[in-house]
Structure 1
Amino acid sequence: MSGKVRMRSLDHVVLCVTDVAATIAFYRRVLGMEARQERPGKWSLHFGSNKISLQDAGTSPSIAAVTVPGSGNFCLLTDMPIGEFVAHLEREGVMILEGPAQRHGAVGPILSVYFNDPDGNLVEVSNQL
């Protein structure tokens, strides 16, 4: 191989979860994601051109044996004004851990709010500033 190794983009993220159905319900209700069954028993969440694969902790493949529920920490971008999103979280009974607060995103400043999903994964939702 010649030249410098360069990654082009992120294809998907995998979350290890205790209860796939509860995770799907939460991400549909709170974040408007679409659930898809890729094959029997294998689910993923879709939004825009992005995908979060769900790994059932009870049936994790050996390659992911040390992955545990609640170890995820990721940031999603939304076009909904963060104040409106905070109000949405409050209506849905989701406890906000922190924010809104300004942070540094991949391409510049973002305004973020943090909360946990049912497994305790840290979810950050942000507006690009």
Structure 2
Amino acid sequence: MRLVDHLVTPGIILFTQNFDACVTFYRDTLGLQQWYEKPGLICLRFGSGYLMIEGDGVAVPGGKSVAQNPNVLRFNVADVRDAAALVEKAGIAVTVSEYDWGTVGTFADPDGNMCSMKNADDPFFDLG
């Protein structure tokens, strides 16, 4: 038996310094649906899993380096350029980059944690 055989719901816990700003960013600006809230944390739906936001993190204005935070929160979207335009309309700077393996749009949350968008039509993401 492996741990994955017991997995019910995968989740990500994001520790933030700017709790209220990060909640507003992920829930209100990006539109992740609130699942539940408890004192000191909020849990948002993130695909088939969840994103839990808690305090006690560290913010880095202008964005964290990979050394400061080696993780990226990925949003697979139908079209990176269209999604980037929506995010930019909300006042968030997005950098769209083309690679031989696809198009990615990157942006940072209020704590400087990196987020990215990738076209979901990439055959690599076909889980069927």
Q: TM-score, normalized by length of structure 1?
A: 0.69
SS in 2 for 1:23: helix
Q: Which residue of 2 aligns with 1:100?
A: 97
* TM-superposed deviation, 1:21: 1.7
Q: Which residue of 1 aligns with 2:126?
A: none
1:5-47 Cα shifts (integer Å, max 9, x gaps): 5746771111111122211111123321012434233211213
Structure with the largest fraction of strand = 1
* Partner AA of 2:46 in structure 1: F
Separation of aligned partners in 2, 1:87 and 1:15: 25
Q: Which residue of 2 aligns with 1:117?
A: 109
Structure 2: segments with no counterpart, 5+ residues: 123-128
* Partner AA of 2:97 in structure 1: P
Separation of aligned partners in 1, 2:47 and 2:72: 19
* TM-superposed deviation, 1:110: 4.4
Q: TM-score, normalized by length of structure 2?
A: 0.69
Structure 1: segments with no counterpart, 5+ residues: 58-66, 104-108
Instruction: Give the number of aligned pairs.
Output: 110
1:49 aligns with 2:48: yes
1:73 aligns with 2:65: no
